[in-house]
Structure 1
Amino acid sequence: MEFTCLSRGGCFYFPPCHMFEVCGFRIQFDCPMDFSALPIFSPVPLDFYVISDEELSTHPGNGSFNLENVSEEKIEKPLDVGSLIKAEPWYKIINNLRLWNPSFTDIVLISSPMGMLGLPFLTREKDFSAKIYATEATARLGKMMMDDLIAMHMEFKQFYGSEDDATPQMKQILAVGCPCTADVKDCMKKVETVRYGEEACYNGALVIKALSSGLEIGACNWTINGPKRNIAYISSSIFSSSNAMNFDYLALQEETIIYSDFSSVESMNDILNDTSGPLTDNLTALSSNEETLANLLSDPAESVGESEKLSFICSCAVQSVESGGSVLIPINRLGVTLQLLEQISASLDYSNLKVPIYLISSVAEELLAFANVIPEWLSKQRQQKLFSGEPMFAFVDLLKEKRLHVFPAVHSPNLLINWQEPCVVFCPHWNLRLGPVVHLLRRWCGDPSSLLVLEKGLDAELALLPFRPMSMKVLQCAFLSGIKLDKVRPLLKVLQPKVVMLPENLSRLINTNTESFTVFSYSEGETLRVPNLKDSLELEIAPDLAMSFCWRKLQQGNIDIARLKGELSLNCGKFKLLAENAHVATDQRPLIHWGQPDLKKLLNVLSKMGIEGSLQQSDAESSNVGVIRIHDPTEAVIEIQESRTIISVADKKLSARIFDAVDSVLDGV
């Protein structure tokens, strides 16, 4: 098996991407887009302010765009709003993915909605024919995100026009523009959706199954079972989730594990700065008791910490509203948005504050409608509400009470009519360059009473550059996005694999002298070759064939052997031998021999049968060829080579007798 890490990703919005080959098939994990370059572009100017041709021609974003010039400019003077590129944004895809011919990819597995945003660029490649698998919820949410991105990007197209004026250097660095609606529709036609625990059989050789990761609604890990290897792929996962179905880690007990949750690697970097000793010293004294490990993995402290974080955001939001300010929450995570919507509305009620809550997105209405009809993808707490006759989410009551207002865009006529301040607004973030967040930030950036809630991981200094001077309060929070560092080894102890592939930095945690599994470290851009654990393959034999065994004992060794004839099939990752329609009696089949006959032993057998002969030196150059010349009853020649024995004789009866003699000194079945 060959495994290549194409990208380690960067955060929840940019998951890792890998390529690996197993059983002759090439499989790609996830196909994300990198939005980290988006902040270098300037948002659409306020009121569609017209930029002069002279300004455009001299701006780094046009004509004279050069990386060396930009880097020198950063060194010479501080970055300001004039340094941003005034052009239609382009996006980055994974550079290492360009090194792989997409026509040779057989399968693409999508683990989360963010992991499928780059699919339209992959599926439109010539000769792309891979099978794409994703859960039903991931496919729906991913499509909504792509549709929303296209809708918000249209604002740039309307301002700058549809002409492709990006320089060759920009195309080389950023690679792709925004996908179009046709690309998304064509991409979704090639996606095969699955449910949690549902088996999908690819080409009869691989059985693929999606299992809940708990990261987001519909997000999943994967198991791949084949004739030679059983693999579990662990993406970013959360053991206990308030909205999504919990992390189904017990179903990942396979012999080979690909660990692809880099969130613990990021947190490990902070720990490494505070300690000089190896981390393994602090983790070797880990209990092997299953109950203890299970309690450690299900520790509620993780959920309590997230709840306290959300409560703090709510308290800050209430303070801003009480002081007359508004709250802007640009977050693209459905689960976090639904939780904040629920808790902020409750906090406002508790404080007796009657302010409107707005959800502004081109897919907001579709998103809420979808979230309300997917109980099978939600946590047990949400499902229990459904069984009790309660709404699964608070937004249902908020919509009925007209406290929550849903609009597709900031310029929607109904929004302009109903707009009230102070208010709380939820919208997508897209690095503060696309969509409603740009207009609302421009409106409130000078208000010291207003609050902006951002996710950690976004370069706030660069993202907020176009909105300076910023009087608005900014609260940056890090939401749980994967398995915490202290749960990595307990998880592996529970799963008990034979082989584990870990990110290079994370592999420091594993003391291979005390663990029962072998660790392979991988790094970005390098190919890792992992040997097969199985020297032989398993074969299922039909009962009627198994009953017809005719055993033959070998001459050397205490081994019995039988010969079978049937139809060999590969189905659901298992080889099976089925009975043929036409049966041939075992005693009527010609024997299959192997090995090389011993010349002296063969001469003795021939002599006992009344056939006289002698050894003769072969004329062949190879010394491995032996010749027996028969003198009586008639002349014949037996030529024994490495791979075959040739009997040359005119008498058919003598030929049959010689064959019987050779048969008696060889093993056959």
Structure 2
Amino acid sequence: MLNLSGFRILIDCPLDLLAITIFSPVPCDVGIEAYGQNDQSSIQKKQKLERQMTPDDLVSAEPWYKTVKTLHLWEVSLIDIVLISNPMGLLGLPFLTQNPRFCAKIYMTEATAKIGQLMMEDLVSMHMEFRRLHGPEDSSFPWWTKNLDGEQVPSVLKNLVFGENGDDLGSWMRLYSLDDVKNCMKKVQDVKFAEEVCYNGTLIIKALSSGLDIGACNWLINGPNGSLSYVSDSIFVSHHSKNFDFHGLKGTDVMIYSGFSCLQSAEMTDSDCISTISENNDERLTASLLDNEESLGELEKLAFVCLCAAESADAGGSTLITITRVGIVLQLLELMSNSIESSSLKVPIFVISSVAEELLAYANTIPEWLCEQRQEKLISGEPSFDHLKFIKDKKIHLFPAIHSPNLITSWQEPCIVFAPHWSLRLGPSVQLLQHWRGDPKSLLVLEDGISSGLGLLPFRPIAMKILQCSFLSGIRLQKFPTLLSLLKPKIVLVPDVVNQRINLSTVKTKSILSYSENKMLSVGRIAENADVEIMAELATKLSWKKLRQRENFGIARLKGDFVMENGKHRLVSGLDQEGSSGKTRSLRHWGTVAPETLLDALMKMSVIGSIEHRRGENGAEGKSIIYITNPSGGMIETSEMGTAITTDDETVASKIFQAIDGILDGI
């Protein structure tokens, strides 16, 4: 949550989907007696004092969903702006928008809005399927938490439910409905990459591609007090979405980095950092960031998944792919189909999802959100992704649910199935995993992040081969100092857990600050004085007065309105120069009046007087009084608080005013 120029800005509102692994999937027919004591899983690496977890430890109830911590305590009416960086950051937003006091402006890219809405609809569809099988629950309180507070409950379950400090219980909520999703999306203002939108005439907001996935972005915010960039997990070179547009983030006053995927890489050494920063030429820095080593490594991982699936099919086993990242799924579908077509294998590919047909069709209609290679394919008359032709040739089959009649008639094994998993607790992957878990020839492909211990607990013993993939999901730790050297922000904000893993001492920036969860961090204003735009027509009418106390500094007086437009202070047209209407106005002065200097100026005007200095208490500086005796009486009293003039003679008062005007700067 940011507080910028008096506006509260929420960036992303995700769900903790890993937390629903505490629930038992449906159907779940594995009990303690079926749980293999000789299983070599990571679960057996628990401390000896803690008993081994079994499927019966999981919560057998309708799943609740864990939102952003303390979301239930937020006063949503105080949120002014919501910025969504990627589809996953959208999944928790309906919990906010269903509150009648929510009135914030929501910004996200068009692609994020479309893909995120489809993901939410798919989640609701799978949850409703769970309710049909398990039965609905009307309780407004998660009653099952009472059973997880005992001493015998495994600590991993307690931590997921209550948090390390026991304050996460309020984060659990019942899932929203399809109507909530639709009402949420009605409040969204979608934007294109690099499109500027103005909020309240004060903030200029722009989305720039992050390269993480289709439509994913970083944010650039310009306001009257400076510029701020928000950089989340980003990928420099992508084979499906637009590359990371880091050039648009150069030179901001404040940069907030929120990427946590870099923690998966090794720690930085001093030599790594120094060798990177020494290349201070922008072209060299850019080239080092855009090297294709990472992207080629990602293609090799995808090719390896295809190879493993082909080997399983050749041995008579099926493959279940539960990866949910849209870009990875699209590339895998393409590579898998091409691989099967070029081989002698005749293996059908099934995609089972309530939104599969709409999502795959949409992916071939959005070239502006894709990488250059995909755009060039579309220009040359080919589809952006090859899955389109395989769907037409009936080599890829799309079905909304596992119980679809057409799927039952088309089903054959071995096969390759793409199915969303939502932490292996909802959706078609649950039934398929139950079906194949005892087949050693079959393959399960998981994305890194799903615990093979808790995630697969309900399905053990499992004989399937398991391939857990770690795809690139952000900026590698070794490249972060190089990125900072290229962007040159004045102040950098880094998560404390990242700051502990990296040496940024050689990065040339004004300040590097670390922030942590649930702690407020205040960042001072970079620019002491804000810039003001004056229209040329108005500027030519101003009568500039050169100041005595500041050389080469001019000042003019005018009347009119001082407004904020498009994030900038402006003096709008139509303002009148002082005196243009023929009316006179009193001058304003500033500075300190020295009594001796003032008396000398008065004596040159034939005004005679004397000075009396009075000390304050305890020897402190007091006040000075000039007594006017000729041509008439009067008194001028000066102190730290100000200057007071007393006289009954208008001529004397006029001369005193002229003397002060000759000493002090004023307009």
TM over 0.5: yes
* 1:178 corresponding residue in structure 2: 175
Aligned with 1:37 (options 19, 42, 46): 19
CA contact (8 A) 1:328 1:452 kept: yes
Aligned CA distance change for structure 1 residues 82 and 389 (closer, same or farther; 3 Å): same
Aligned CA distance change for structure 1 residues 583 and 337 (closer, same or farther; 3 Å): same
In the TM superposition, residue 372 of structure 1 has moved relative to its aligned partner by: 1.7
SS in 2 for 1:430: coil
Aligned with 2:142 (options 159, 163, 166): 166
Moved more, 121-130 or 623-632: 623-632
In 2: Cα distance, 1:210 partner to 1:347 partner: 36
SS in 2 for 1:37: helix
* 2:572 corresponding residue in structure 1: 578
* 1:463 corresponding residue in structure 2: 455
* 2:260 corresponding residue in structure 1: 262
TM-score by length of 2: 0.87
SS in 2 for 1:493: helix
Aligned CA distance change for structure 1 residues 557 and 220 (closer, same or farther; 3 Å): closer
The Cα offsets for residues 206-256 of structure 1, whole Å up to 9 and x where unpaired, read as 211111111100000111112222122111111111110111111110332
* 1:107 corresponding residue in structure 2: 81
CA contact (8 A) 1:549 1:562 kept: no
Aligned CA distance change for structure 1 residues 513 and 464 (closer, same or farther; 3 Å): closer
Aligned CA distance change for structure 1 residues 514 and 482 (closer, same or farther; 3 Å): closer
Which runs of 5 or more structure 1 residues have no equivalent in the other structure? 1-18, 52-71, 272-277
Letter of the structure 2 residue corresponding to residue 515 of structure 1: K
CA contact (8 A) 2:317 2:443 kept: yes
* 1:91 corresponding residue in structure 2: 65
In 2: Cα distance, 1:298 partner to 1:390 partner: 27
In the TM superposition, residue 302 of structure 1 has moved relative to its aligned partner by: 1.0
The Cα offsets for residues 597-641 of structure 1, whole Å up to 9 and x where unpaired, read as 222333333333333344457899896444334344443343445
Matched, 1:603 2:634: no
The Cα offsets for residues 408-459 of structure 1, whole Å up to 9 and x where unpaired, read as 1111122222222222111111011101111111121122222111111111
Aligned with 2:200 (options 180, 200, 203): 203
Aligned CA distance change for structure 1 residues 288 and 656 (closer, same or farther; 3 Å): closer
In 2: Cα distance, 1:203 partner to 1:74 partner: 59
Aligned CA distance change for structure 1 residues 631 and 197 (closer, same or farther; 3 Å): same
CA contact (8 A) 1:123 1:187 kept: yes
Letter of the structure 2 residue corresponding to residue 166 of structure 1: P
In 2: Cα distance, 1:304 partner to 1:395 partner: 21
In the TM superposition, residue 546 of structure 1 has moved relative to its aligned partner by: 2.2
* 1:428 corresponding residue in structure 2: 420
SS in 1 for 2:454: helix
* 2:561 corresponding residue in structure 1: 567
**Paired residues for 1:122-521 under 5 Å:** 122-125=96-99, 127-158=101-132, 159-164=134-139, 166-167=142-143, 172=169, 174-255=171-252, 256-268=254-266, 271=267, 279-286=269-276, 287-507=279-499, 508-513=501-506, 515-521=508-514
Letter of the structure 1 residue corresponding to residue 593 of structure 2: P
Letter of the structure 2 residue corresponding to residue 573 of structure 1: G
In 1: Cα distance, 2:489 partner to 2:550 partner: 36
In the TM superposition, residue 75 of structure 1 has moved relative to its aligned partner by: 4.8
CA contact (8 A) 1:280 1:511 kept: no
Tell me the C-alpha RMSD between the 2 structures. Answer: 2.7
In 2: Cα distance, 1:607 partner to 1:73 partner: 95
Moved more, 430-439 or 638-647: 638-647
SS in 1 for 2:587: coil
CA contact (8 A) 1:567 1:580 kept: no
TM-score by length of 1: 0.87
CA contact (8 A) 2:353 2:400 kept: yes
CA contact (8 A) 1:594 1:667 kept: yes
The Cα offsets for residues 176-218 of structure 1, whole Å up to 9 and x where unpaired, read as 1211223222221222111000011122222111111111000
Aligned CA distance change for structure 1 residues 376 and 369 (closer, same or farther; 3 Å): same
SS in 2 for 1:461: coil
Aligned CA distance change for structure 1 residues 619 and 127 (closer, same or farther; 3 Å): farther
* 2:6 corresponding residue in structure 1: 24
CA contact (8 A) 1:598 1:665 kept: no
Letter of the structure 1 residue corresponding to residue 194 of structure 2: G
Letter of the structure 2 residue corresponding to residue 39 of structure 1: T
CA contact (8 A) 1:567 1:579 kept: no
CA contact (8 A) 2:353 2:399 kept: yes
Moved more, 496-505 or 138-147: 496-505
SS in 1 for 2:438: coil
* 1:541 corresponding residue in structure 2: 534
In 1: Cα distance, 2:630 partner to 2:495 partner: 75
Aligned CA distance change for structure 1 residues 166 and 553 (closer, same or farther; 3 Å): closer
Aligned CA distance change for structure 1 residues 227 and 635 (closer, same or farther; 3 Å): same
In 2: Cα distance, 1:230 partner to 1:75 partner: 53
The Cα offsets for residues 58-101 of structure 1, whole Å up to 9 and x where unpaired, read as xxxxxxxxxxxxxx999553211111111011121222545654
Aligned CA distance change for structure 1 residues 619 and 470 (closer, same or farther; 3 Å): closer
In 2: Cα distance, 1:618 partner to 1:73 partner: 81
* 2:35 corresponding residue in structure 1: none
In 2: Cα distance, 1:163 partner to 1:489 partner: 52
Moved more, 620-629 or 421-430: 620-629
Identity %: 48
In the TM superposition, residue 467 of structure 1 has moved relative to its aligned partner by: 1.8
In 1: Cα distance, 2:576 partner to 2:547 partner: 28
In 1: Cα distance, 2:195 partner to 2:450 partner: 36
CA contact (8 A) 1:551 1:561 kept: yes
In the TM superposition, residue 593 of structure 1 has moved relative to its aligned partner by: 0.9
SS in 1 for 2:224: coil
CA contact (8 A) 2:70 2:170 kept: no
In 1: Cα distance, 2:348 partner to 2:281 partner: 52
SS in 1 for 2:124: helix
In 2: Cα distance, 1:97 partner to 1:493 partner: 36
Aligned CA distance change for structure 1 residues 560 and 314 (closer, same or farther; 3 Å): closer
Letter of the structure 2 residue corresponding to residue 233 of structure 1: Y
In the TM superposition, residue 262 of structure 1 has moved relative to its aligned partner by: 1.2
Letter of the structure 1 residue corresponding to residue 186 of structure 2: K
Moved more, 592-601 or 326-335: 592-601
SS in 2 for 1:192: strand
Moved more, 312-321 or 89-98: 89-98
Moved more, 234-243 or 653-662: 653-662
Aligned CA distance change for structure 1 residues 382 and 554 (closer, same or farther; 3 Å): closer
* 1:117 corresponding residue in structure 2: 91
Aligned with 2:520 (options 505, 527, 543): 527
**Paired residues for 1:5-16 under 5 Å:** none
Letter of the structure 2 residue corresponding to residue 161 of structure 1: P
* 1:9 corresponding residue in structure 2: none
